[in-house]
Amino acid sequence: MDLYGEKIGNLVSQLSRLPGIGAKSAQRLAFHIINMPHDQVVALTNSMINAKENVHYCKECCTFTDGDVCSICANEKRNHKVIMVVENTRDLAAYEKTGKYDGVYHVLHGAISPMLGIGPQDIKLRELMVRLAGDVDEIIIATNKNLEGDATAAYISKLVKPMGIKVTRIASGVPVGGNLEYIDEVTLLRALEGRTNL
């Protein structure tokens, strides 16, 4: 039975497609949006469309940006000879919150997972290898501490070691099975400082 009509039902349905939004949260958001002033709804809608149309991958590190390169890659004060490899942009943001890492990043946009049919060609490994042809001293592999993250780390290490570049892995201050985006800054910093050679 459709209690609120087709238009509200459709809004709830669309909102429930967002990650982490169940039916009740979608309904709460829908009613909130309906009660918002019209100009705020228009601003929200326009900001979503604008982001979708103008945000793309950074030409260097593959994070999201609305410029040619992101602000981190464009920053000459960062150490461009040290690259931290992360699975997604949320992991990059988590390490940036520590305020202690001064290198640059490379975002894979996933991890190798044969069970899910995700191979090395399905993530941003080719782009990483192109970057490593430049002047790089170390890559820090900061993939999640789970089966997929470990498989990805091992694969990258096997590719990079013959190039003579130091390959390290974040320490186990990050719990096995834990996602980096949910871990506090102190734990992330300890994991970075305690990284080990691969």
- Does 1 reside within a domain? no
The tens digit of pLDDT for each residue in 114-161 reads 888 999 999 999 999 999 998 999 999 999 888 899 899 999 999 999
In a domain, 59, yes or no: no
122 contacts: CB under 8 Å, gap ≥ 6: 110
122 shares a domain with 37: no
Domain that includes residue 145, residue range: 64-197
Work out the end-to-end distance of the chain between its first and last CA atoms, rounded to an integer number of angstroms: 58
Domain count for the chain: 2
What are the CA-CA distances from residue 191 to residues 20, 67, 154, 183 (Å)? 27, 31, 18, 11
Same domain? 40 vs 128: no
Write down the pLDDT at residue 114: 87
Together in a domain, 32 and 112: no
Sheet containing 166-169, strands listed edge to edge, beginning at the edge strand earlier in sequence: 103-107, 79-86, 138-141, 166-169, 196-197
Q: Are residues 89 and 183 in the same domain?
A: yes
> Is 155 part of a structural domain of the chain?
yes
Query: Residue 1: pLDDT above 50?
Result: no
Regarding whether 18 and 72 lie in a shared domain, the answer is: no
- The answer, yes or no, to whether residue 170 has pLDDT greater than 90, is no
30 shares its domain with 126: no
Examine the domain organization and report whether 36 and 74 are in the same domain. Answer: no
Q: Do 27 and 72 sit in the same domain of this protein?
A: no
pLDDT band at 73 (very low <50, low <70, confident <90, very high): very high
Domain containing 160 — which CATH number?
3.40.1360.10
**35 lies in the same domain as 100:** no
- Taking the CA atoms of the chain, what radius of gyration do you get in angstroms? 20
- 27-60 pLDDT, tens digit each: 999 999 999 999 999 999 999 999 999 999 999 9
